[in-house]
Structure 1
Amino acid sequence: MPNNAVMNGSSVENFCAAVEAVLDDGFREMAAEAERQGVFPREVLARLGAAGVFTDKWAGGYRFQLAKLVGLYTALGAECSGGVGVGVSLHDSALAILHRFASSDHLRSLCADATAGTAVLCIGASEQTGGSDLQAVRTTAVRDGSGYVLTGAKAFVSLSSVADFALVLAQCVENGSDHRPGNLGLFALPLTSASVGEPYDKLGANSLDTAPIEFDTWLPAEALLGRPGIGLAAITWGLTHERLSIAAQVSGACDRVLGLTVARMMRREQFGKPLFGHQALRLRVADLHAKVAMLRLALQGMAASEQIDVRTAAGLKVTAARLGQEVVGECLHIFGGAGYLTAETPLARWWQDMQLSRIGSGTDEVLWEVVAAGMKPDFNEYDALFGEPEPRKE
């Protein structure tokens, strides 16, 4: 582990020990109750904040402490409470934005409160008509005296039912009707100034309540992160954090599900021998085990290098999400009827929760476009191997 891992707060080992202390039986009871009630438990963020987890994680400044990010979200993923894990990562991704782009005393104070777990953050980016096309947002922030009038609606805002502030992406209009597409800003909107709709019924992640919000309110200029025009960069920074968090959660969840499946295969007998004794099943799980090991090693290698970029995060998230679907789906299949019955095992709920990983923070297709934009051709090698031969001289 790099030497500066200790300089940026506690050591990674001590940080992970603090995380594990929070993820105790009390946490599991809160997560189970949140699943039943369909409301994210704010107390989870309060406990993480009180234990110094967020303070420690961000002790090195706005740059991601990748080893601590991986440690926190792998541990949350292993709890297999997808809604709670994603809720924590959404709050933390908003924190990533504030730690880098907070440009006023108001925003720095909000960042401190959210780091302590006493304020809850969410992100309002996607709109009903825009989806993943963030530059097409219709929400506007029209300059009005010493602030902005923020007007619009966001369709899918997870944590909005329990959060104190939403970081809202809007088109900035500085001079009346002077509306330049792409001039995006990101604003800290107190949700007391917004109307939060009824939470949606979802396929899974029941403990992550998601609802639409609407607003038409005046905000002081100090609510703007940075300046007009950098909203897309700010939201991309937060999404990069979120995508890495999801990849780590998938890794932790897959490890746990595979361990339970192997135990099931060794205990459950069919046709006179344990399921593990059937080569077809044993080798299928071995294939999954190897793939999950590669994901875990990729995360560890990334953490050790302390290097990350938008394209690497995008590719890692898509690869992990697809693998997570495969792993949980195959393990559910191996559990047979008991896997399908929600009263028998949690496999069906875990499978439902895993579907969110391929949609949240960017769909596969959007993220593959991010990766494709960075691919570089090797024209020299191509021409050397496949170039047109020079015409023969008569």
Structure 2
Amino acid sequence: MDFTYSEEQRMLADSLRRFIDAEYGFEARRKSARGGGSLDRAVWKGLAEMGVLGLTIDSEYGGFGEGATSQLVVQRELGRGLVLEPVTPSSVMAAAVLGAYGSAAQKQDWLPAIAAGERIVTLAYLEPGTRYRPEAARASASRSGGGYVLNGTKSLAWHGEAADAFLLTARVAGSDEIALFLVPRDSAGLSVSGYPTMDGLRAADVKLADVAVPADALVGQPGDGLAALDLGLSHGIAALCAEAAGAMEKLIEITAEYLGTRQQFGKPLAAFQALQHRVADMLVQKELAMSMAYVAAQALDEADPAQRRRMLSAAKVTVAKAGRFVGQQAVQLHGGMGMTDELAVGDYFKRLTMIDPLLGDSDYHLQRYTQVMAA
């Protein structure tokens, strides 16, 4: 896989960076986050018009049919700008699941709307007490007439408040199968309770109380749930790794600029060799994270599921560790100002810290990596 930017990718990256700088500055992001939302419809429309939301969706459904390398380019820029909007859960993860496992009707109904920014779909697979293990789902799907009745609770649905539909996992009654259902937000018996997360994003708990869905709400076959979910999570992890690398890149630029302007003992902090070494260490970790983001993107084309999981888990753990290091160093190098809420450094630190628990924390992925290697 060639990760050298093509001319089209370079133009996309430049256009996206200019758009974020112009329409999504620090103050605008802060205002959106503190206003209790993480979806600016004007920004969302702009991302759709630039082709970001339909980047990997097939052209027959209004997208551009690009691959993992182009997605990495976009996610890197979104990370630099700390973009709040639900690009990863909807346009990356949900689009990948529906593109691979959705029926013809599901694809036609939802993929063009996702690409155009008209609809948002997110995954809801976590449950209280199950940690990151989707196979331990307790939500149930009972067959009823020609469809199913869903009951249970999902937690920490990423951008659940903004979603028009959820890709929900549930255990089919009378079997060990985990199925995946596409459930509209306005379904009777479905309720959503949203709340903020540490990094300014939003999550939600989704409760299902006798939610009746037709048979065509099933995504794939009843036994395809875990495989379909794993595909979505794989694309999400690759996107997160690229986003984190972009955030580290921008945070280092912010820190270097601060060290160049802050005076101590009559000269800028950047003149002190000890601080130069710490910035150099940050750069090393950022480059390591970027390299592992390439590994994660390459994993999406890996035919062997075990090898794909190994590569993604290795990337996720390495990037999370690098993000913590870069974030902590940036806060410390800003001195007392780094501990205040006045500078952007705090926002980047929080986001990089939250990269670890999203889509499986380091403990989970280390265990998964070990299991794959042992097998």
Cα deviation for residue 101 of structure 1 reads 0.8
Aligned counterpart, 2:322: 323
Which residue of 73, 76, 88 corresponds with 1:74? Answer: 76
Separation in structure 2 between the aligned mates of residue 162 and residue 24 of structure 1, nearest angstrom: 24
Deviations 1:188-216 (A, max 9, x none): 111112543442353x222x221211122
Structure 1 332/2 Cα, relative in aligned 2: closer, same or farther at 3 Å? Answer: closer
User: Partner of 1:99: helix, strand, or coil?
Assistant: helix
Q: In 2, are the aligned partners of 1:66 and 1:302 still within 8 Å (CA)?
A: no
Is the counterpart of residue 211 in structure 1 residue 204 in structure 2?
A: yes
Match of 2:10 among 6, 13, 17: 13
Letter in 1 for 2:273: Q
2:67 partner letter: Q
Aligned pair count reads 361
Change beyond 3 A, Cα 1:91–1:185? same
1:333 matched residue in structure 2: 332
Alignment partner of 1:170 is 2:170: yes
Tell whether the 8 Å contact from 2:234 to 2:300 is kept in structure 1 after alignment: no
1:136 aligned onto 2:133: no
1:258 corresponds, among 252, 260, 281, to 252
1:90 aligns with 2:65: no
Residues 160-309 of structure 1: pairs in structure 2 closer than 5 A: 160-173=160-173, 178=174, 180-181=175-176, 183-193=177-187, 194-202=189-197, 204-206=198-200, 208-215=201-208, 216-300=210-294, 307-308=301-302, 309=308
Offset at residue 313 of structure 1 (A) = 1.6
Deviation at 1:353, TM superposition (A): 2.3
Question: Structure 2: which 5+ runs fail to align?
Answer: 303-307
Match of 2:345 in 1: 347
Distance 1:20 1:352, change over 3 A: closer
Q: Which residue of 2 aligns with 1:158?
A: 158
Task: Check whether the contact 1:15–1:56 (CA below 8 A) recurs between aligned residues.
Answer: no
TM-score, normalised via structure 2 length = 0.88
Name stretches of at least 5 consecutive residues in structure 1 with no aligned partner. 378-394
Deviates more, 1:218-227 or 1:128-137: 128-137
**Which string of whole-angstrom CA distances, capped at 9 and with x for unpartnered residues, describes residues 255-307 of structure 1?**
11111111222222223432222222111111111221232244347657974
Distance, in Å, in 1 between the alignment partners of 2:254 and 2:88 is: 25
CA apart distance, 1:39: 1.0
- Percent identity for Structure 1 against Structure 2: 24
Amino acid at match of 1:112: P
In structure 2, relative to structure 1, the CA distance for the partners of 1:269 and 1:21 (3 Å cut) is: closer
Distance 2:259 2:282 in 1: 14
Name whichever of 264-273 and 13-22 sits farther off: 13-22
Q: CA deviation at 1:59?
A: 3.7
Structure 2 partner of 1:147: 147
Shift of 1:22: 4.1
Alpha-carbon spacing, 1:119–1:339, altered in 2? closer, same or farther (3 Å): same
**RMSD across aligned positions (CA):** 2.7
Cα contact 1:104–1:222 (8 A) shared by 2:
no
Q: Residue 209 of structure 1 aligns to which amino acid in structure 2? A: R
1:27, distance to aligned residue in structure 2 (A):
3.3
Instruction: Return the index of the structure with the highest Cα Rg.
Output: 1
SS at match of 1:323: helix
Q: CA deviation at 1:119?
A: 0.4
1:122 alignment counterpart? 122
Q: Is the 8 A contact 1:142 1:172 kept in 2?
A: yes
Shift of 1:253: 0.7
1:33 equivalent in structure 2: 31
- Paired letter, 2:253: G
- Return 11-20 or 365-374, whichever deviates more: 11-20
Tell me the CA shift for residue 24 of structure 1: 4.4
Equivalent-residue separation in structure 2 for 1:56 and 1:349 (angstroms): 27
How far is the alpha carbon of 1:65 from its aligned partner? 1.1
* Distance in 1 of aligned mates of 2:135 and 2:295: 33
CA drift at 1:2: 5.2
**Matched residues in 1 for 2:54 and 2:81: separation?**
22
Instruction: Mark the CA change 1:127 to 1:297 in structure 2 (over 3 Å): closer, same or farther.
Output: closer
TM-score by length of structure 1 reads: 0.84
Q: Which moved more, 1:129-138 or 1:14-23?
A: 14-23
Amino acid at match of 1:40: S
Q: CA-to-partner distance for each residue in 1:313-368, whole Å, 9 max, x for gaps?
A: 2211221111111101111111011111112x122232222221110111111111
The structure-2 alpha-carbon separation of the partners of 1:301 and 1:237, relative to structure 1 and needing over 3 Å to count, comes to closer
Structure 2 counterparts to residues 46-65 of structure 1, below 5 A: 46-59=45-58, 65=67
Equivalent-residue separation in structure 2 for 1:52 and 1:273 (angstroms): 46
| d(CA) in 2 for partners of 1:136, 1:184 | 9
